[in-house]
Structure 1
């Protein structure tokens, strides 16, 4: 299936978001659910789970549980840490010989095939003020990241302009970038380079499938889940004018909400994540709720024992943290310095976690069939994800030693890019050629991994 013709009026040319092409349709569809318009206030113990500190602390509790021999699923072979560090350091030096490593973010994927797509688009924004440029970048990053769960092994995106055919995260990035550039996420045809609540709420599976070139021969994992996530994003934006509203509800207004909080032009990275979790925790269709409070991407594990309503809960916030990493550059573009990057954690996804399994740091107690899918909520997957977060903290120090860099020069955002994500993909391809699926398969709905 070829890329949709953006100028054709037939029904494969998606613009269901703007019924009248001559004027903006900014009315909000009736899709905002009660849990978004009147969210239940989170008590302190549950609100505390919306922080990277809680992710790190509770994942380390799971690591302690496994190291004590209490897990029926995994052991940790601590002696393998050095070998994993050697492998990651070698991959990092191969890809970045000068060790000039960018952040791990969605912006790397937009450059798939060596093409500077954002640079070409931004060339038309030279007269745009820095704050609006940041809003545009945030709009793009948010919708693209939320469409960035695992694509599956079969899906590919063909970009007509470049002639490239691209799969996995890079293909999803390029497909969503081209959707954004075409104005599909904007309800105003005179202002296409934005994502706003009316257009996001109206997005349907047919439109996304057309732009992502989905067909029986080119299946995409979790298509419906991705659409629901984008719809819920739009509804959440409209429900939080304090974070996302200024006449138009869009993710980019997060810049306006957070910029005044920067002291001397410095904004802590955790503040970005906490704002995202505050505003967007309600969007996750499969997220856990406790007493009506939406907690987002969390799991349950017996290693966490506390005497309150957060008992047994391990937060991850993978896509939210991936989004935070992807918002560093938009904020910096507007002149803010984002600080304390290592307050964020490693990303508990299958490339980082798969690396640790494939190189023998995380060891299954029984053989795991890589073709058998496990639920995201299963104790085995929750434990694997938590071990990934905790062990990546230890791995970071080892790799820094190998490369001769300290944490200020080589934060987790660069370890992931340098780094563990690429290393996880490479070792998977070596162990399970040719596609390189992860060693543990996840029954994903397009909203977590």
Structure 2
């Protein structure tokens, strides 16, 4: 019904047969201009018009003289009431339109004028905006004006990360990379340490905190984080984990793979997160979860960055020379080429030996992809070292006692690579309520081919 009323109102604009009230404006040369409208539509949007036309002291004059606003501004005011289309060419137009909307208590036009001022805040005189905001108690606009008055980024300098703690003032050279449509405040890029990873994410300037994705969840950091400052920054379209030339390095995994800063829009709201090259995707903090975006996102670049474009994720490059032996004729066998993060093993096979005989006819299979290396999981005397090399299967028997089964892992590790000097890893799966006498260690043999 609301959409129907909106559409019908728009059709009424400029239709002479629906007009039953007029407003007159005195021009400088003595000429008079007249605007016509419908009383019911005006009363529907303004309690002042309602009292003026249908109250106990209803206005009897027609046309009604308007002396404090010029013809053009009042026409824009009436046009918005009918069509909800906002038109302003300057700060003065927006301020005058706000004055009319405030006088007749049309709050939707007040909000539209304030939004126009906020979106163009860097084009206007901030001291004039602050005076206007103070006059009409526009708290949000006033705070934003003061924020921008103290904001002096340096696009001529390379982007840097500045440490920030709870209660610290916002660095004056903080990079504003987008706008939060929920409150019209600028957004920045922040990062913090979490479980050995340095995670880039969304810096909420109004809340003074950073949101970053990790482990399927969105994590919030309000203390001891870093803020991206300076830089000649630009968002560039990307996808599938490819990082563009001059991309901003936003963080690092615990196994030293570099993470980049990415952005995607969901439900008309920007979300900033980490681009994980080896995962071929972008992860963003979406509400309380970690959301994976495969393609059609943006990557943050800095004109001063020296990052080179990488068309393939790091695990597609083998660390060794193409030919075995001594290629440089120095008498020694060639060493692996240095990489900024561990290489992916070209082929990894492992077999988990069964710990108990299982009744497969009535077993429950639970599978999950294990990412990264889970460090130091202790339960009792057992330490588990799990690597993201395949899907591991756990079976549960008829009597619901937790028993670990076996899986033949032949899938290549797409998430992380094992260090090249690792040939044998001891793995033990620990399940709650399993006594120490029931625990058995399973040997994992890993070989390079």
TM beyond 0.5:
no
Structure whose residues are more often strand by fraction = 2
In the superposition, the TM-score normalised over structure 2's length comes to: 0.22
Structure whose residues are more often helix by fraction = 1
Rg larger for: 2
In the superposition, the TM-score normalised over structure 1's length comes to: 0.22
